[in-house]
């Protein structure tokens, strides 16, 4: 039994709208240290095979033709022996993963008060008429 992990993410040159939304949401929470976020997919496969080389070739085909879009996405295929086969110029197979637990307390987001809208004299009259009409309608 061979276990394979596939990580699929947008290429560096492609705009990632989900990652951009995540980054803006993080900023909205008051955390300004995160400068970029990327959203991808993680797929884990269990293959019943003995030959690692043939299995890797089959998994490469599956990753390229089915799981990822090679025009806009890169993937990293890792088998259970820990050797990573990358199909991304940005991915570095020798890079160590660093996992840190979040211990710093973040400040809660503070809502800004709504801005008052300045109305012209003509617009003030229209607003007053609409308010009096709605009051008359409620009385009836």
Supply the pLDDT for residue 114. Answer: 55
Overall average pLDDT of the 107-124 stretch: 61
- Please tell me the distance from the alpha carbon of residue 130 to that of residue 118, in angstroms, as a whole number: 17
What the chain holds in terms of domains, given with CATH numbers, is: 2-91 (3.30.1280.10)
Confidence of residue 49 (pLDDT cuts 50, 70, 90): confident
What's the mean pLDDT when you consider all of the chain? 77
Overall average pLDDT of the 29-45 stretch: 93
Task: Give, in order, the Cα–Cα distances in Å from 55 to each of 63, 82, 85, 134, 139.
Answer: 12, 15, 13, 73, 78
Supply the pLDDT for residue 92. Answer: 45
Sign of CA dihedral 126, 130, 132, 136: positive
Overall average pLDDT of the 16-20 stretch: 93
pTM assigned to the model: 0.54
Bigger pLDDT: 9 vs 81: 9
Overall average pLDDT of the 45-65 stretch: 92
pLDDT in tens, 72-110: 999 999 998 645 555 554 444 444 444 444 444 445 555
């Amino acid at each position: 039994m061979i276990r394979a992990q596939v990580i699929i993410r947008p290429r560096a040159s492609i705009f990632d709208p989900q990652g951009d939304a995540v980054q803006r949401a993080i900023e909205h929470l008051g955390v300004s240290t995160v400068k970029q976020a990327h959203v991808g997919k993680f797929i884990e496969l269990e293959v019943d095979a003995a030959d690692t080389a043939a299995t890797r070739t089959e998994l490469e085909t599956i990753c390229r033709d089915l799981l990822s879009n090679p025009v806009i996405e890169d993937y990293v295929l890792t088998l259970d022996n820990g050797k990573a086969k990358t199909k991304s110029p940005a991915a570095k197979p020798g890079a160590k993963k660093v996992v840190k637990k979040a211990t710093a307390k973040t400040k809660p987001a503070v809502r800004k008060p709504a801005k008052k809208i300045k109305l012209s004299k003509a617009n003030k009259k229209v607003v007053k008429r609409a308010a009096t009409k709605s009051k008359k309608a409620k009385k009836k």
